Structure 1
Amino acid sequence: MAIGLLIIWGIGQLARQLIQPKIVGDSVGMPPLPTLFLLYIGYKLGGVVGMIVAVPIGLIALTMYQEGALQTTKDSVKILTAGINHFRRLKPEDMDEVRQMQERDRRLSEELARQAAEEEAQKEAQKEARKEAFAKKQKRKEIMRNIRLRLQYEGTRYQGWQKQTSTDNTIQGKMEVLLTKMCGEPVEIAASGRTDAGVHALGQVANFHTESDMSTEEIMAYCNRYLPEDIAVVEVSEAAPRFH
């Protein structure tokens, strides 16, 4: 029995020397208790032959497990070492530059957000201002005189009735220039009309608002005195404030 155990121990040591150093090095080996456990299991399953086979199989399994764990550890150490070396290569001035870039990015983000907020607030203010101006204009019209005109014109020399951005040679443009001078205040005259060049009208109705206290007769006389010969006012009357 003692000779058999000695033979098994020698085979185990031989397997350890042949297998283990090739994979994980001399520092890793089979602990004593697992070795005895493998010997016991091998003896129960196959007697002396089972004991002989159990120890090499156990060494191979343990070595393969330790090899995988060791490789994983080596990879982790490599990654950690690479990260440490990267930060070690950064000089103090490099770190200062990184911090300055981060600060510039933060300030730029804040500035863009501030500008966006200001633009939005400006748009809202302009919108409210337009609403307020329109409301004031409408309210002012309600307390101003609303003068209704009946016009006739031969429009061969003009670009139609309605004002246009490309030309001021229109009937509406001529009328507003004259009425503004007459009333001493900006005047807008409203009427339905075409923009076609050369259109004529006989009895076209238009109206404007004014604070002038000129009588309807005075307005008619002034217009016909200073308007071109191919434009005439044939009737002037007062209309309701909301007449269009």
Structure 2
Amino acid sequence: MARHQGHEGMATGHDTSTSTFDFARAACRRGWVLAAGIALAGLGALGGASLPAQASSGPQPWGQRLVETQELPAEALAKFALFQDRKDTADSARSAGAPPQTQAWTGEEMVLPRSGNPYTLVVRVSGVALADGDVGARWMAGWSIHGAPRVGAVPQVAARGVRAGQVVEMAGAAAPLSFKEDRTVPPVLEFAGVSNLRMDRVRLEVWSGMRSSNPVERLMPWMPLLTGAVFLGLMLWWRRR
């Protein structure tokens, strides 16, 4: 009888240790899931934090050094406004395959030594939103080389979710350009149109040197690899269950 009770005691102890082990395994699994979730959330936060850099309106470096700022005169803004009025009228009659028209402005000549490569043109636009919603301006920027403009698109000069009458400040940069030799050339700005915006001020900045990247931007090229490593860890954990 005593022997039978001893076996029962041993069985009870075994069941208790097994339950403790199962609980530890479950806690470990939950820890893996929690860690993976935190890692993915962190990667997503880093990715989201770097997205608005190019469209930011605040002061930020677009190169190693700000070389010059040229303010567009009131006459140029008046030409842009007249161009916009004519464009709105002609858009409905223009065929779908016709190239977009632009209104050009040429700035003052600048001395650009090759040692300052690359050079980046930044367009800063200030104005007032005409209605609730998104606002934006479309530009081309570049240089007049041997009398011929060499321009490229300036992306992301826009702001989202603004109120009617709200003062808006936006900025966008063209792709950096390097020169093989020292140049004395004027910058060229081509206006292609605005959406829901009355432009009051336009400035063209010239930056020299490559813009230094922040830690988030340096991490961005590794984002796919880090995300894949997290998912691989989850897959291996799931197969070992």
Please report the TM-score for the alignment, with normalisation by the length of structure 2.
Answer: 0.33
In proportion to residue count, which structure has more helix? 1
**Which protein, 1 or 2, shows the higher relative CO under an 8 Å CA cutoff with sep ≥ 6?**
2
In proportion to residue count, which structure has more strand? 2
Please report the TM-score for the alignment, with normalisation by the length of structure 1.
Answer: 0.33
